[in-house]
Structures are given as C-alpha cells and as structure tokens.
Amino acid sequence: MLKNKVLKILLSNKEHVSGQAISDNLGVSRTAVWKAISSLKKDGYNIESVNNRGYLLLEKTDILNQVEIEQNIHSYKLLEPPVIIYMDEVDSTNTYAKSIADNLNKDFLVVSDMQTFGKGRLGRIWDSPSSTGIFMSLCIKPDIAIEKASMITLVMALSLCDAIEELYSLHPTIKWPNDIVINSKKISGILTEMSSDMDGIKYIISGVGINVNNKEFPADIKDMASSLFLETDIIMHRAKLIASVISHFYNNFNIFLKTEDMTDLKEKYEKHLANIGKEVKILDPKGEYQAVALGIDENGALIVNSTGKIKRIISGEVSVRGLYGYV
C-alpha cells in the first residue's frame, strides 16, 4: 500500500522530505504522494507541509498499524524478528493465529486494534475496545518437548514485566501463572495454546492482552482491573510497547532454550512474583484449600506450603490475598 510506504519514509526522516523526493523514491506521481499524505492525516498523523521544503511528521501519536509495529521492532535489531500481521479488527488474535499457523514456517505476530471476541484463560472473555489496548498473539515453533510448552506463559509474563519496567519505570508483579498486576489490579493477561502431533509440537501461540491507554473500565471490573495510563498518567505509543515486549521475549526465550526450563530465569521471575510469601487460595477440583506460596520450581510449577506439606501446583486457579478483592 502506497500510504504505508510514504509513512515509512516520514518515520525514518527527522527533517522535511520533499514530495518530489518521495515521488522519485517510490516511482509514483506527486499527486499520488499528496493523496497518501492526505490519507495519513485523516488517520491522525500530524504532518507539516511547507512549500519548497516538503513534509515532516511532527509529534508522534498513538496510532497502531503494521508500519508502526515493524519500525519499532526494527529498532531493537532482532536477528530474526517475527512476521507482523496487523488488522484493525478481529474476533480473537489467538483464533486467527491458529487458523494460519500451519501455513507459515516462520514465527509471526498477529496484532489487532480491537477484538470482538477476545479470549482469556479458563474460557473467560477479555474486554478488547479499540484504540486503547494491545491485543496480540505470538506464534513460535520451537523444538522442545511437549511438556515444556506451558513454561512459555511464564517466559512471556516475565517479558511483559521487563517491557513495562523499561518504558514506565514501574515494578509490575506476576500473579502466577498468567496475570500482570500493578497496585493490586490486573493490567495484562496471557493465554497460551499449543498444537502438537506424533512428532511433537507444531506451534505454540502466546496471546497477550494489555490495558495500555484505557481511561475507564466497566463497573463490574473497575475494582479489579486497571491500565498503564491510570497507574502512570502516561499515554504510551502501543507499537513501542509491543516492540519492547517482543524484544524482551526473545531475549528471555533464548535463555530458556539453554536448559529448556526456568532454571536461569527462576530468580528473576520470583522477584516479580506477587504470590511469593503470600497466603493463596488454591481452587483444586478435589476441594479448595489455603496455603503459602514459596516460589516456583525449574519447571514453572508454583510451590506452596499447605499446613506443613510442600505441594507443586501445575494448573488451575490460584487466588492471592490482597489481589482482585480476595481479602
């Protein structure tokens, strides 16, 4: 699309670029360039037009599209960045990623400005309004054992914390295994799904929802959910946060691959673990019980002390006292 090509040129230049230079670069007419600039302005870009000087992209606004995501990821200089697939709207990024995963041989990242049927863990719905949050699914095809796949959730959770620390100077915590929490409220959630066959893992999809620039929440969740904006008063460019998360994910994932477990990430993960040292409520199929969380083991299981007995929690729902209204 010509508009995207013009946007790439504007994003990569800090000085005015003449319409003729853009025209020559792209092999199109000056009229076509003007139409592309007009379309970008309608999208919300603040572009200055000066006679005899050309066009200059002024202050950045939070506009999410394929070019913004690609340019921001490129700035991290990943050796093998994922293929970016952007849509303005989709039912669920995880569902869409699964529908194309068998046809793509490379890692890919599906991003949408909004979801009409966003999915959360345990069948819950993730509220996904447009122009506020990040809704993305990263598909990877690692050569690891099937039983290792669940740890990708922990790697992604740690990467979200790393990105938030980098861009906001906050210290988020992780409610094991898949929630990111700030000031006792949920900021982000992760849904990891896997497909396998007799030969092993075909693909792993890690779906992420982040409340970024939300200014309010429905009454039924406002006491449990928050956004990065509400916690910091910072309007963040979502493409920048996406790029940071992906960069940190591959850094952490490469560490994970050395041992194919959490051995080398365990200490760092536990520094973010909201559960650690806290009373937790385990919703076990055999019956609910309380315990004190001690940390995680090298396989990502939550280790708890229940009336003197050490137990490994590998799945299910774990409530933490002081979070989400559990008192």
pTM of the model: 0.89
Mean pLDDT of 187-208: 96
- Is the CATH number of domain 2-57 3.40.50.1000? no
* Domain range annotation of the chain: 2-57, 66-270, 279-320
Residue where the block lists tokens 């906001």: 168
Helix (H, G, I), strand (E, B) or coil at 96: helix
Per-residue pLDDT of 271-315, as tens digits, reads 999 989 988 888 877 788 889 999 999 999 999 999 999 999 987
C-alpha span between 206 and 160 (Å, rounded): 12
DSSP secondary structure string for all residues of 7-69: HHHHHT-SS-B-HHHHHHHHT--HHHHHHHHHHHHHHT--EEEETTTEEEE-S------HHHH
Please choose, from the candidates 201, 80, 206, the residue with its C-alpha nearest in 3D space to the C-alpha of residue 142.
Answer: 201
Architecture, CATH, for domain 279-320: Roll (2.30)
DSSP secondary structure string for all residues of 146-202: GGGTTHHHHHHHHHHHHHHHHHH----EEETTTEEEETTEEEEEEEEEEEEETTEEE
Q: What are phi and psi of 106, to 5 degrees?
A: -100, 165
Residues in the chain: 327
pLDDT confidence bin for 247, thresholds 50/70/90? very high
For residue 48, the cross-strand partners are: 56
Per-residue pLDDT of 132-151, as tens digits, reads 999 999 999 999 999 999 99
Q: Which CATH class is domain 66-270?
A: alpha beta
| 42 Cβ contact list (under 8 Å, min separation 6) | none
- pLDDT score, position 126: 54
Examine the pLDDT at 119 and tell me if it is beyond 70.
no
Over the Cα atoms of the chain, what is R_g?
A: 22
β-strand 179-182 against 279-284: which pairing, if any? Answer: unpaired
- pLDDT score, position 326: 46
